[in-house]
Amino acid sequence: MTLANLLQARIAQDGPMSVADYMTECLLHPTLGYYSTRDPLGPQGDFITAPEISQMFGELIGLSLAQCWIDQGRPGRFTLAELGPGRGTLMADMLRATQGVDGFHPAADIVLLEASPTLRAIQAKTLDAYAPRWITSVTDLPDSPLFLVANEFFDALPIRQFIRDDSDWRERLIGMKDESLAFGLGPRSPQIALKNRLEDTQDGDLVELCPSAIPIITVIAGRIATHGGAGLILDYGDWHSLGDTFQALHAHKPIDPLSSPGQADLTAHVDFEPLASAARAAGCAHSRLTPQGVFLERLGITARAQALAKPLSGSKLEALVAAHRRLTHPEEMGNLFKVLGLYPSYAALPPGLES
Ligand code: SAH
Q: What pLDDT digit, counting tens, does each position of 255-265 carry?
A: 999 999 999 99
Ligand 1 atom at minimal distance to the Cα of residue 150: 1
pTM: 0.97
Per-residue pLDDT of 267-315, as tens digits, reads 999 999 999 999 999 999 999 999 999 999 999 999 999 999 999 999 9
Q: Pick from 24, 25, 35 the residue to mutate for probing ligand 1's pocket: most ligand atoms within 8 Å of its CB.
A: 35
More confident residue, 342 or 193: 342
Handedness of CA 42, 43, 48, 49 (dihedral sign): positive
Task: Answer whether residue 209 shows pLDDT above 90.
Answer: yes
Q: How confident is the model at residue 166 (pLDDT cuts 50, 70, 90)?
A: very high
pLDDT score at 44:
81
3-class DSSP assignment, residue 298: helix
What is the CA(187)–ligand 1 centre distance, in A? 33
pLDDT score at 45:
87
pLDDT score at 311:
98
As a whole number of angstroms, the longest Cα–Cα distance in the chain is 64
pLDDT score at 184:
97
Task: Answer whether residue 42 shows pLDDT above 80.
Answer: no
CA-CA distance, 150 to 160, in Å (whole number)?
21
Per-residue pLDDT of 305-323, as tens digits, reads 999 999 999 999 999 999 9
What does the pLDDT average to over 201-218? 97
Taking CB atoms and a 6 Å cutoff, what residues make up the pocket around ligand 1? 27, 35, 41, 49, 51-52, 84-86, 90, 113-116, 119, 151-153, 156
Distances in Å between the Cα of 298 and the Cα atoms of 280, 291, 295 are 25, 11, 5
What is the CA(116)–ligand 1 centre distance, in A? 8
Task: Answer whether residue 61 shows pLDDT above 80.
Answer: yes
What amino acid is encoded at 23 in this protein?
A: M
pLDDT score at 240:
85
